[in-house]
Amino acid sequence: MNPLSRRSFVSRAVAGIAALGIVADSARPAHAQLVWKGSEWKLAEFNKLANNPASVKQLYDVSQIGGGVFLNNIKNSLNGLHYGFDVPQSELKVVAALHGAANMLNYRDAVWAKYRVGEWLNIIDPATGKPAVRNFFYPAKHPINAAAYAKSPDDLDSIYQDTSVQALQARGVKFLSCHTALEEQSRKLIKHFHLKQSPDEIVNDFLANLQPGVLVVAAMVAAIALLQSEGHYTYITA
């Protein structure tokens, strides 16, 4: 059986663990609800990711932000595999599966400011010394252009030493966001800040501010299981 290609397998996967699905980068309004059902899935991008033909595939399971240490670990994986073990870039695929608090790194500054994400999660912006109102983990440190790639991997100003989400995406890392986590987080935000918006309003607000290139899956624990069992990604928890 071709992994993840037959709808019959998908149905069994749903029954066995949890719903799994994708929304494109804000291509259409997302209907916020606790569980995304099979009929609502957009699986093409996930299937492509799971069936990626790279010879070395790593999956980072990330639920805590931890100051962004996991981003440095991903950078080290890319550099070590390519430069230290001579694995061609075309044979590398790394996926960052973000859920829990780490899920917030998939979203733009607008919702970080509006919903006081830094204050809620106790994330201090190093530029201000105050609770972050921007997703400072996302932007690249320097322009991502030919000059950035031409620099030595030992150069701290090169893309090879940049641990930002944007730079890692440019190097081929795929970031995933968890819809279930987002639903749960919307309810926590309402309770924490006594917000008057409904969970659906908050979830849709976040989804409208999804960072470019991020895939939203219905349940990250399900996505991780399928990437391991069907995609044969090696598992790393961070």
pLDDT by 10s per residue, the chain, length 238 = 455 544 444 444 434 433 333 333 443 444 457 766 656 656 788 889 999 999 999 999 999 999 999 999 999 999 999 999 999 999 999 999 999 999 999 999 999 999 999 999 999 999 999 999 999 999 999 999 999 899 999 999 999 999 999 999 999 999 999 999 999 999 999 999 999 999 999 999 999 999 999 999 989 999 999 999 999 999 999 7
Read off φ and ψ for residue 212, nearest 5 degrees.
-55, 140
Calculate the alpha carbon distances from 222 to 10, 139, 140, 179, 213 in Å.
11, 29, 30, 11, 20
Q: Can you give the pLDDT at residue 42?
A: 64
The CATH H-level (homologous superfamily) assignment of domain 7-237 is: DsrEFH-like (3.40.1260.10)
Burial class of 234 by CB neighbour count within 10 A (0 to 12, 13 to 18, 19+): exposed
How do strand 92-98 and strand 174-178 relate by DSSP bridges?
Answer: parallel
At 116, the amino acid letter reads R
Longest dimension (CA), the chain: 54
Given a contact cutoff of 8 angstroms between Cβ atoms, the answer to whether 159 and 144 are in contact is yes
Q: Can you give the pLDDT at residue 53?
A: 96
| DSSP result, 191-235 | HHHT--S-HHHHHHHHHTTBPTTPEEES-HHHHHHHHHHTT-PEE
Q: Can you give the pLDDT at residue 20?
A: 37
CB atoms within 10 A of CB 64: 14
Coil vs helix vs strand at 125: strand
> How far apart are alpha carbons 122 and 143 in whole angstroms?
29
Q: Can you give the pLDDT at residue 34?
A: 77
Q: Can you give the pLDDT at residue 32?
A: 53
> How far apart are alpha carbons 42 and 39 in whole angstroms?
9
> How far apart are alpha carbons 130 and 119 in whole angstroms?
8
Q: Can you give the pLDDT at residue 204?
A: 92
